[in-house]
Amino acid sequence: MILTLDIGNTNMKTALFDGMEMKQYWRVATDRNRTSDEYGIILMNLLKHSGISKESIEGIMMSSVVPQINFTIEHMCRNYFGMDPMKIEPGVKTGINIKYENPRELGSDRIANAVAAYELYGGPCITIDFGTATSFGAISAKGEFLGGAICPGLKLAAEALTERAAKLPRFELSKPETVIGRNTVTNMQSGIVYGYIGQVNYLIERMKREIGSPDVKVIATGGLSALVAGESNVIDVMDGLLTLKGLCLIYEKNAHPNN
């Protein structure tokens, strides 16, 4: 089995794959102060609770947008699993031709999303990852990563509103019944949630025009994708495991290139 680690700003999402079949999925809070032993013990306990031995893991594939803990996670993999994790870096085959001005700038999670979206759903396509930041990726019919957009995530936008506007209260990030709010909280919910949906719809519309194809599939992933997808008319597929599936696909391309 392959252990995949998707280390985000808020959570580390991890899954075990047997081929492309996901066997287990866990979420662990990303904590820059945790030691490699703490992360190791957490994963060992999750495996034990699921009745899985660490010896059944033949490889580890890792993506991280938090450079500060990369060494910690790599050290954990060596100490607790006896192997170095494979990472998305120069020399690793992805099957995607990256048309970025500087490909090294492109986040490994966005590459994994592009690989999974193109291989599982076909191109041209657009990925949307609703995380701490929301990222959009455009992939051509030929499997080229054309570029995309990055904007603050829903939670980040909501936090900025309450932290920088002294008289505005904290509020639950949920969808109000109407766009026209009748009190301060529903006004804020409307502006953040429905305003965000409008932003998503507009960016997707513009990206489709720039890709130049009428048939562009839009695949959404990330923790808050369900909140947006229910109101947006541009999202075709919701796949909460898109990044992890992409990591598994990239691992297989490099560990078993002839399969």
Q: Active-site residues: which are they?
A: 109
Dist CA 154 CA 126 (whole Å): 19
Cis amide bond preceding 152, omega within 30: no
Buried-state track 75-96, b at ≥16 Cβ within 10 A, e below 16: bbbeebbeeebbbbeeeeebeb
| First CA to last CA distance, the chain | 16
Question: In the 8-state DSSP scheme, what is residue 191?
Answer: I
Q: How far is CA 207 from CA 122, 138, 184, 195, in A?
A: 17, 7, 34, 18
